[in-house]
Structure 1
Amino acid sequence: MAKTGVVLLNMGGPDSLEAIQPFLYNLFSDHDIIEIPRLIQKPVAYLISKTRAKSTRKYYELMGGKSPQKEQTLEQAKELQKALGDKYKVVVAMRYWHPFTEEALNELFKDDIDKIILLPLYPQYSRTTTGSSFNEFYRVFKKFNKNIPVIEIKSYFDYPTYIQALVENIKENLPDYKNYYFLFSAHSLPEKVIKEGDPYQLQVMKTVKLVMKHFPENEYNLAYQSKIGPVKWLEPFTDKEIERVAKEGIKNLAVIPISFVSEHSETLYELDIQYGNLAKEVGIENYVRIPTLQTSKTFIKALKELVENVKG
């Protein structure tokens, strides 16, 4: 019996210290993220990746020598497969490191597949994340010469079960949440991308508003992290917000990663180590970083519902 293929799309991360430079090369070679003229993009990506690999290596050494994103995404796929059952086949396609899209489709087509659902692990849509993963999927999919329908789940930033998963996750990891200021942290983007019509910022803001309906007594704000390069990016930046709330006398701060569903350098190094140390320096007494959703039962339930509700 033919199955429905479900392709979980994620960014990927280096699975060893040796993988850092090739991972960064793949990232900076992506024209959907960095618009370097195509003729020189790959040589420039090589130079940037060689330079940044040296400075980035220390992050990964502090994280145990690799990003845990691959294992956590594979675990999400395994739990989703269990939830969906035998009528579906779930595979993982990473954008910048193994398992790449081609590896995912080779695995998928070991079975008889009659349609494919693309399910990004980016809840909020951006052309730089979901858009780039979709583009890569279609480039690779052409090579397989399969005449089967492909259905895209573009985003689920306001999907009720996803919001429920976020709310439960905060309450489970912060029982005394009423005593905390909430600082939501999302990956930043160049302002130029937003001005060109990318919906990411509005979708992140909507996710935060929907979550905060469940925490009416808490003060909160949304900030952005992980800026690279000299151009103007979405602000305020997370580190500057930590400094601001400390000046205003906040002693209990919960930082909530809102655009990530698994752990990687932006959470484990930037939020936990870099900003955790900053919080201590500026007088925050209790700094709590809420974990990403990973295999939360309610998050897996949300993914299952999204797949089963697909039309076509």
Structure 2
Amino acid sequence: MTPAFAPADHPPVKPGKTGILIANLGTPDGYDYWSMRRYLNEFLSDRRVIDFPAWKWQPLLQGIILTKRPFTSGANYKLIWNEEKNESPLMTITRAQADALREAAVAEWGDQIMVEFCMRYGNPSTEEVLNRMIEAGCRRIVFLPLYPQYAGATSATANDQMFRALMQQKWQPAIRTCEPYFDRPDYIDALAQSVERVLQGRIPGRLVASYHGMPKRYLMQGDPYHCQCQKTSRLLQERLGWADGIIDTTFQSVFGREEWLKPYTVEHVAELARQGVDDIAVISPAFAADCIETLEEINGEIREAYEHAGGKEFTYIPCLNDDPGHIAVMMNVIRDNIGGWATT
């Protein structure tokens, strides 16, 4: 389309669109050594994730860690890999979330809405997807990192990558980034409904809310993640109407030698078993989609730790994934941020 009053030789300009871009953590392209190494190198080189000085960290990363870890991580990914689509479950689920959001957004705002997804690490990259949206005519984009609780190593690094990609653009679109949604009533209700759906009215001896961990040092430096996790657990308990002491907040995926947020999930569930709590359920409120940390770590390593210590009944409550209630939460967050963009 040629702009009004433009000379005849003016290059065509695509009609303006409003974009919605959701972002998740990322996934390797495969579970082979080199795919895993590329992915882990990008992830573990992020200064938001590992903030040690490069001169100290990179020799260790490029030497010992990236020599050994791709083998163990690849073996774990192989256990959960979607062989039919040749991709990780995180990719399958995030695509399904984007498809469901696209259907809902177009139904509400029309075909001038474009909905896509990207990954902070791996493919499709933030830069690749942003370029595609701009090429399609998106002049305004709502950017939603799929992390209910804010952390520097999740929400912030997703935003960082978006802004780095914008730096490459001659004509930048307007961007609105979304706040974390850890205490939204609709999100808490969706979590509670997932618990009720799986447990069918049964109250376990303990519901363990297992959040991704991070170094305790980050909390002391001002990261709000720990506090937001605690509030999510408290609000979930209130919504379920359960007594105090039934929901425990724990942290998983510890990496390295320094102290991380405690209690550690794998140790806590074993201790519960030793105390005689023989019926637990585990939920992962920090994950918007099931992934290696939930499907393999929780339903594998953490389950085994509990059963090995004498625990009997272990129930994993899946992430919200592309459940209609979760899609409704995302749409509400987007509505709060899209303002008048979708109709102008």
TM range (shorter): over 0.9
**Alignment RMSD:** 1.7
Q: 1:246 aligns with which of 259, 273, 278?
A: 273
Match of 1:213 among 232, 238, 257: 238
Distance verdict in 2 for CA 1:249–1:78, change over 3 Å: same
SS in structure 2 at match of 1:23: helix
Residue of 138, 142, 146 corresponding to 1:117: 142
Q: 2:170 matched to 1:169?
A: no
Range 86-95 or range 296-305, more displaced: 86-95
1:190 to 215, 222, 234: 215
Indicate yes or no: 2:226 matched with 1:201. Answer: yes
Aligned residue identity for 2:90:
Q
Contact 2:273 2:307 in 1 (8 A): no
Farther off after superposition, 23-32 or 6-15: 6-15
Q: Does 1:3 align with 2:24?
A: no
* Matched residue, 2:250: 223
Choose 161-170 or 172-181, whichever is displaced more.
172-181
Q: CA deviation digits over 1:5-39, x for unaligned, max 9?
A: 11111111123113211110001111111123245
Percentage identity across aligned positions?
A: 28
Q: Deviations over 1:257-282 (max 9, x none)?
A: 11001111111111011111222222
Question: 1:63 Cα shift?
Answer: 1.7
Render the CA deviation track for 1:62-118: whole Å, top value 9, x for unaligned: 223753111111111111111111242111121111001112112212322121111
Alignment of 1:43-122 (within 5 A): 43-47=59-63, 48-64=65-81, 67-85=88-106, 86-122=111-147
Structure 1 counterpart SS, 2:171: coil
Distance 1:236 1:178 in 2: 22
Amino acid across the alignment from 1:13 = T
The Cα shift of 1:44 comes to: 4.2
Superposed displacement of residue 249, structure 1 = 1.6
Q: Which residue of 243, 260, 283 maps to 1:233?
A: 260
Provide the secondary structure at the position in 2 that maps to 1:272. helix
Structure showing greater Rg: 2
Query: In structure 2, the residue corresponding to 1:12 is in which secondary structure?
Result: strand
Deviates more, 1:139-148 or 1:95-104: 139-148
Equivalent position to 1:141, from 157, 166, 175: 166
Q: What secondary structure does 1:143 align onto? A: coil
Q: For residue 24 of structure 1, what is the amino acid of its counterpart?
A: L
CA shift, 1:40, in A, is 6.2
SS of the residue corresponding to residue 203 of structure 2 reads: helix
Kept in 2, the 8 Å contact 1:183–1:255? The answer is yes
Q: Secondary structure at the match of 1:61?
A: helix
Contact 2:251/2:264 (CA < 8 Å) preserved in 1? yes
Once residues 154 and 115 of structure 2 are traced to their aligned partners in structure 1, the CA distance between those partners, rounded to angstroms, is 20
The 2-side partners of 1:216 and 1:303 are apart by 25
Q: Which runs of 5+ in 2 are unaligned?
A: 1-14
Q: Which moved more, 1:40-49 or 1:172-181?
A: 40-49
TM-score by length of 2: 0.86
Deviation at 1:55, TM superposition (A): 2.1
In the alignment of these two chains, the number of paired residues is: 312
